[in-house]
Structure 1
Amino acid sequence: MFNEDRLITKGRKFDQVLEGARSVFMQHGYEGASVDDIARAAAVSKATLYSYFPDKQLMFTAVFRGELEREKIGRDTLVGMDLPIHEVLRFTGHMIASHLVSELGSRTLRLAIAEARRFPDLAAEYYEIGPRALRRGLERRLHLWQHDGMLRRDIADMNLAADSFVQLCGVQVREPVMLLGRERVDDGAIRRTVENAVIVFLRAFGTAAALRLLDE
């Protein structure tokens, strides 16, 4: 098993090597990426490459964790946003859908799925930092809305309710982007998907006070 303590994260060409590795891994995956291709993409010698990353697993781990850092989105902003429920849901929905169809979002998800068996710990990190953390942040906000009388008191599973909204925001955009490319999903499709998600969610879980906001 590789030892991450061997990784050198400083040096004149470290970022250059990491960017070259990222471009190759994202295009070809772990198995399809060769050290020669990575060195060529980074415009460095193999000796320089190995001075930073003694093996390909370390290199992939560094690239993937770098992508995870870029994956993080403003969950604290979501919880603290002082706007009516339908506007916060609409903002959150656009954030979710736009991320799903972005090059970063779709590319990282593809890589996480493709390499989950080879790198289960990284797949677990992706799940914790991305989908699970997003649902937890939204769940906290749902509890606040429930306390304020905007959501029904009889919601049996608030985490499931949060996940329902997240999934609704991906309807009609996730699969086309993953299978056919970003050009198959236009901004109009994102707007319609998010608006539908807000309406369906509030009709399922909202109180009369929340539903009245949809008619304003």
Structure 2
Amino acid sequence: MKPPATFDPFRPLNPLCTDDECIEIEGAAASRRGRPSLEEAQRLPVRILEAGWEVLAQHGFDGFTFDRIARHARIGKATIYSRFTGKQAFLDALLKHKVEQRRVSVMSIGADLPLIEAFCHRAVAVVEMMLSPDGLMMERLLDWCDQEFGDCQVNYRHAMFENALLSIETELRGAAARDDVSITDFPLAARFWMEGLLGHIRLMGSARAFDRADTEQWARSYSDFFFGRLTR
């Protein structure tokens, strides 16, 4: 069944279960080893998703099964089905989880630095992240989801880009107000920043592996040029 037109695979991820539900779905396993702690119950959804990520990394998409996820997470398969109706629902949640991890990681970099410095450091982090094994697997996962589940109403890669643009625009607005920087068109500025960053990643990734020194030099030049042209 195709998702509705309002479907957004990267809207904020709601908790996958309440504390009581997380405890309850441990079922027979919980009775064998004792009632799980509240901390264990709260971590259960993340544990399931991270197990799914490990299965993808080790076995690829053809080997992605709930049986393997259950073994990696050390839970019963029924526990997974109590949270996800099928493969698409699981991968939707997994993408949201990994995108949010990326967002939090990147936005924490240079939070106390001036605008240009913060964006320079974040540019390096994004390049490294997207050229890492996890980043490359995320790219393959997006392509696979678009091929398997996407249509004219749902495009996973476009949804991820829209999510990233909103984060960049929000940060530009906050940093501009804090540093008293004049930016006349925040959405356009966010789009130009992301397009330049993705273009560099594409060129760099096709030529060689991540080079920190080279990336830091590029990020400094790009940030100085971008904000110099943007704010003059």
Same fold by TM-score greater than 0.5:
yes
**Residue deviations 1:127-159, cap 9 Å, x none?**
343x222331244257548x94x55x8x6x443
Deviation at 1:87, TM superposition (A): 2.5
Deviation at 1:76, TM superposition (A): 7.3
Alpha carbons of 1:80 and 1:17: their partners in 2 closer, same or farther (altered >3 Å)? closer
Q: Distance in 2 between matches of 1:163 and 1:26?
A: 31
Aligned to 1:66: 97
- Structure 2: gaps (5+ residues): 4-15, 30-43
Aligned to 1:94: 124
Aligned-partner residue type, residue 217 of structure 2:
R
Q: Where do 1:23-102 residues align within 5 Å?
A: 23-26=54-57, 30=61, 32-47=63-78, 49-73=80-104, 81=112, 83=114, 85-102=115-132
TM-score if structure 1 supplies the norm length?
0.63
Q: Distance in 2 between matches of 1:2 and 1:27?
A: 28
Q: Distance in 2 between matches of 1:96 and 1:26?
A: 20
Deviation at 1:69, TM superposition (A): 2.5
Q: Distance in 2 between matches of 1:139 and 1:124?
A: 21
Aligned to 1:164: 192
Q: Distance in 2 between matches of 1:80 and 1:17?
A: 31
What RMSD, in angstroms, separates the aligned Cα atoms of the two structures? 4.1
Aligned-partner residue type, residue 71 of structure 1:
R
Matched, 1:126 2:160: yes
| Structure 2 SS opposite 1:115 | helix
TM-score if structure 2 supplies the norm length?
0.59
Asked if the contact 1:79–1:138 (Cα under 8 Å) also holds between the matched residues in 2, the reply is no
Deviation at 1:198, TM superposition (A): 1.6
Asked if the contact 1:169–1:193 (Cα under 8 Å) also holds between the matched residues in 2, the reply is no
Deviation at 1:197, TM superposition (A): 0.7
**Residue deviations 1:47-84, cap 9 Å, x none?**
5544544432332233222223212237877897563x
Percent of aligned pairs sharing the same letter: 20
Asked if the contact 1:39–1:49 (Cα under 8 Å) also holds between the matched residues in 2, the reply is yes
Deviates more, 1:21-30 or 1:56-65: 21-30
- Structure 1: gaps (5+ residues): 208-216
